[in-house]
Structure 1
Amino acid sequence: MPVVDYEKYCKMLDNAYKNHYAYPAINVSSLETANAALRGFAEAKSDGIIQVSVGGGAHASGSCVKDSALGAISLAEHIHRMAEQYNVGIALHTDHCKPEKLDSFVYPLIAETEKRRAKGEKNLFNSHMFDGSELSVSKNVEVSTKLLELCAKNQIILEVEAGVVGGEEDGMNNEGVSKDKLYTTPEDMLEFYRALSKIESGRFMLAATFGNVHGVYKPGNVKLKPIILKEGQDALKAEYGDDAHYYLVFHGGSGSSKEEIEETLEYGVIKMNIDTDTQYAFTRPIVDHMFKNYDGVLKIEGEVGNKKVYDPRSYLKAGEIGMAERIKEACNVLRSTGKTIFG
């Protein structure tokens, strides 16, 4: 089916919140990884979110161009076409965008959607993320408010971040951040809601941090405190009533235990970003291919090699399958398997 529209995307998020499951949000940076995401969701019979980061967009545009927005547009257009071949709902999202990248990434993508809408076409992306975690909370809220006003006019959902996700990903290094910033306070969460809930037709997701760290670490190195999410939801209901709630996003989930992930689903997490694990799942079969076909992928001692095994299609296909299998595993853990609302 086509990439979902605004109404269908809202229905996806509402249904996930109501039924305590979440969508894997898969970062892609190439046609192969985009196809792997589509395959994984379809085989799991799960709706899902495919997202492009600043670095992913730059990679997709080619090493000579390095245009994040142009690469993201190219990937999005491919996914729009290919999604029609599958029977699950797919939403398109952009991942972490720091303040200094807004003018070269998010704003051009919103402008592209505005041009499409003017011609009666669908939005290019369904949602965008602004990562203002390096700013003060008040400044973060200020920029987020202006962004949501623009997004609301174009039926785009905005994801914002309160607190800092530790670790390193996509060229952003937060490994030395103060530990107290890894845990969002209920008051910080409320500050976003007070401002953003005032915007007419504005819908937003909140990435609150509870010890999350990008990357994979040995057991015991990451101290997750999912109860922070419940405390934030409880504070919101105390101030605005029982019907008020956040749509929460779980960043830095690679390596988390099944129990920790399931706990967050009970507190309103409806989206979980997955990048590190799917990168490895894509690369591992390619490594196997190279080891097993060492004398075929290289022209050694005057030999000609074996075109069947050095043809990139042979090992990229293996990477696609490996990544799709990891996405199916994520759907199982996040309880979205078999729950497409469009089949």
Structure 2
Amino acid sequence: MLVSLKPLMEDAMKKGYAVGAFNCPNMESVMAIIQAAEETNSPVILNYAEVHGNLISMEDIAPVMLQFAKKASVPVCVHLDHGESIESCIKAIQLGFSSVMIDASGSNYEENIRITAEVVRLAHAVDVTVEAELGHIFSSDKGLGDTEEIETADSFSNLDDVYTSPDMAKDFVEKTGVDVLAIAFGTSHGIYTQKPVLDLNRITEIKNKIDIPFVMHGGSGLSKEEFQTAVKNGIRKINYYTYMTLAGGKAVKAALDKKSVEENIFYHDIPLIAMKAMKENVKVAIETFALKN
């Protein structure tokens, strides 16, 4: 069933777990995520990341996401991930998304507030939930474990310039009215080549200032214990994609490697191989975020 982010976050806050949010730039990933959610009887969030516009447009994938969400036997939120502008968020809302993320974290603080507050005003008028981001979450294959990346980034003089400030988070939420907040505490998008430097206690420090659902971006590659500590400290939504799609790619490669040169390879078998592997990977992630052993 299609729902907004609000009921999912309310239940997660009440019971102390996190809901998985998985990017789906094609139908096979949508199917894998929904099947995993139904097999674990868990709520789930289908993400469309605007950065995946080179793979498929929002207009083309939205009907697929919404159709699978509506017919699912578990609650499903269809969410715009890292919306780059007010216009992108409006487009997602018009297409039927039940939640949007406006990411103005690259702007200065006051501009982030202004843009986020405007999206909140528009979205709340039609019962759509809003996520925003405060702090800096790197998007690279290095992660914060690569100290050279931090030292050479002119805009960041120390880690406090990268991580979300608890006092600033409180001010930001009060001024924007945002429903959920993506916070920075050391994670990074992409495949890690070095271990990231995590400040998991910062989640608790922010929670002590403002008790709303917090979101972890760039969580792929963390250990089960790190994920679950983050959840115990207050993370209620976890974005997860890189290692899901990597599992699909590895499964396809392994299957093709087993084929002899003479054997026929039918393309329609390839997406099914990837879908099964992605489904199993998502199931593990869902159970990890739910604090199940």
CA contact (8 A) 1:285 1:315 kept: no
Q: C-alpha distance in 1, partners of 2:77/2:54?
A: 21
Structure 1 CA distance for aligned equivalents of residues 46 and 288 of structure 2? 18
Q: Does 1:126 align with 2:98?
A: yes
- Name the counterpart of 2:290: 335
Contact 2:133 2:182 in 1 (8 A): yes
**TM-score calculated relative to the size of structure 2:** 0.89
Matches within 5 A, 1:108-187: 108-110=91-93, 112-113=94-95, 124-168=96-140, 177=153, 178=156, 179-187=159-167
Instruction: Name the amino acid aligned to 1:207.
Output: A
Distance 1:333 1:48 in 2: 13
Distance 1:129 1:58 in 2: 19
Could you tell me which residue of structure 2 aligns to residue 273 of structure 1? Answer: 239
1:312 aligns to what SS in structure 2?
Answer: coil
- Under a length normalisation based on structure 1, what TM-score does the superposition of the two structures give? 0.76
- How far apart are the structure 1 equivalents of 2:217 and 2:43? 19
- 2:81 is aligned to 95
- The ranges of structure 1 where at least 4 consecutive aligned residues each deviate by more than 4 angstroms after the TM superposition are none
| Residues in 2 aligned to 1:86 and 1:318: alpha-carbon distance in whole angstroms | 22
Aligned mates of 1:88, 1:133 — CA distance in 2: 32
Aligned partners of 2:66 and 2:97 also within 8 Å: no
SS state at 1:42 partner: helix
Range moving further from structure 2, 50-59 or 320-329: 50-59
Q: What code does the residue aligned with 1:208 have?
A: I
Q: In structure 1, what residue type is equivalent to 2:121?
A: E
Give 1:218 shift: 4.6
Deviation at 1:31, TM superposition (A): 0.9
Q: Write the deviation string for residues 131-153 of structure 1: whole angstroms up to 9, x where unpaired.
A: 11111111111110011000111
Question: Is the 8 Å Cα contact of residues 139 and 189 (structure 2) preserved in structure 1?
Answer: yes
Tell me the equivalent position of 1:120.
none
Task: Describe the SS at the equivalent of 2:42.
Answer: coil
SS of residue matched to 1:73: helix
**Residue 204 of structure 2 aligns to which amino acid in structure 1?**
K
Contact 1:182 1:212 in 2 (8 A): no
Counterpart contact for 1:253–1:272, Cα < 8 Å:
yes
Is the contact between residue 137 and residue 188 of structure 1 (CA under 8 Å) also seen in structure 2? no
In structure 2, C-alpha distance between the alignment counterparts of 1:157 and 1:129, rounded to whole Å: 8
Q: Are 1:15 and 2:11 matched, yes or no? A: yes
> Relative to 1, partners in 2 of residues 1:336 and 1:259: Cα closer, same or farther, differing over 3 Å?
closer
Residues in 2 aligned to 1:48 and 1:275: alpha-carbon distance in whole angstroms = 13
Match of 1:107 in 2: 90
Deviations 1:275-323 (CA, angstroms, capped at 9, x unpaired): 1111101111111122112515xxxxxxxx52xx2x2211110100000
Instruction: State the distance in 1 between where 2:209 and 2:79 align.
Output: 28
> Residue 17 of structure 1 contacts residue 269 of structure 1 at CA under 8 Å; is this kept in 2?
no
CA distance in 2, matches of 1:260, 1:194: 29
Confirm or deny that 1:312 pairs with 2:267: yes
Tell me which of 242, 253, 264 is aligned to 2:230.
264
The match for 2:187 is 212
Cα pair 1:36 1:321 within 8 Å, conserved: yes
- Report if the CA contact (8 A) 2:69-2:77 is conserved: no
Q: Does 1:31 align with 2:31?
A: no
SS at match of 1:224: coil
